[in-house]
Chain A
Amino acid sequence: MFEAQLVEGKTFKAIIEAIKDLVVDCNLDCSEEEVAIQSMDSAHVSLVAVRLSASAFSNYRCDRPNSLGINTANMSKILKMLGKDDSITFKAEDESPDSLTMLFEGGKSTIADFELKLMDIETEQLGIPDTPYQCTIQMRADEFQRIVRDLQVLGDTCTISCGKEGVRFSVTGAIGNGNILVRSSDEDKDKVTINMEEPVELNFALRYLNFFTKATPLAENVVISMSPDVPVVVEYPIEEFGHVKFYLAPKIEE
């Protein structure tokens, strides 16, 4: 039996909204410790990794590990009916369940229940090495969203370079070019923290960075981690309960 109640149901809704443009079908991997999602986009350019620890839920029971295969667009349709202060209770049988039951409860008088059909999804789980990164940038999530949205009008590739003076986001395109420099700042309102061992410069597809910023409502700050010649990690922490992490393979000079 899998049964778990998330008091702030809107957190789960925000997770599905954040990933549904990148991931069509995915497994909710439920275990005693957590509910997790790991999936590549269809082009295998990026990877989404979601974690919600059991402690994020007010009641959590998972008798044995289970993978619940969902279509994110269909899940999103059901979550449209979630009230903004509703809790969600998830229920599924142990042995290859056909459906996932979700109860939406808000005020005392209304309980809505929905059943989402599940499917078998064959996925390759990728092992992500837990290695330290050369540069880690923490900045406001809405500021990062604004930067990648603004730069997309100039071109499709963004160079992110982290150096002594700060983090530079640069785009070169047909109509011209642009640079946005973000420097370390202690100001409470828009604090920027940059930890750098060695300068790093990598190129990324703005289209994907824009997809990632769909997770902005989940977190006040985003953490961007880079090392030479490896995928960037764009992490949206979910309080102390988990995260949505996006990994994006860099573009390489031919």
Chain B
Amino acid sequence: DMKQGSISGFFAVK
């Protein structure tokens, strides 16, 4: 099974 990644896991908050 595949798990959906989160976009906030890739880009840091400014």
Does A54 have its Cβ within 8 Å of any Cβ on chain B? no
Give the contacts of A228-254 with B (CB-CB under 8 A): 230-231, 247-254
Number of interface residues of A (CB under 8 A): 24
Q: Enumerate chain B residues within 8 angstroms of A222, measured Cβ to Cβ.
A: none
A251 surroundings in chain B (CB, below 8 A): 2-5
The 9 closest A-B CB pairs, nearest first, are A249-B5, A126-B11, A251-B2, A125-B14, A127-B14, A249-B7, A124-B13, A47-B7, A254-B3
Contact A128 B6 (CB under 8 A): no
User: Which residue of chain A is the closest to B6 with respect to CB atoms?
Assistant: A44
Q: B1 contacts A249, CB within 8 Å?
A: no
Chain B contacts of A230 at CB under 8 A? 10
- Chain B residues near A250 (CB-CB < 8 A): 5
CA of A230 to CA of B5, assembled, Å: 10
Known: A128-B11, A231-B7. 10 other contacts (CB 8 A): A126-B8, A127-B13, A127-B14, A157-B2, A231-B10, A247-B7, A249-B6, A249-B7, A249-B10, A254-B3
- What are the residues of chain B within 8 A of A44 when measuring CB–CB? 6-8
Q: What residues of B have a CB within 8 angstroms of the CB of A254 in the complex?
A: 1-3
Once A127-B13, A127-B14 are accepted as A-B contacts, the answer to whether A203 and B8 lie under 8 Å apart by CB is no
Q: Which residue of B lies closest to A40 (CB)?
A: B7
Contact A45 B13 (CB under 8 A): no
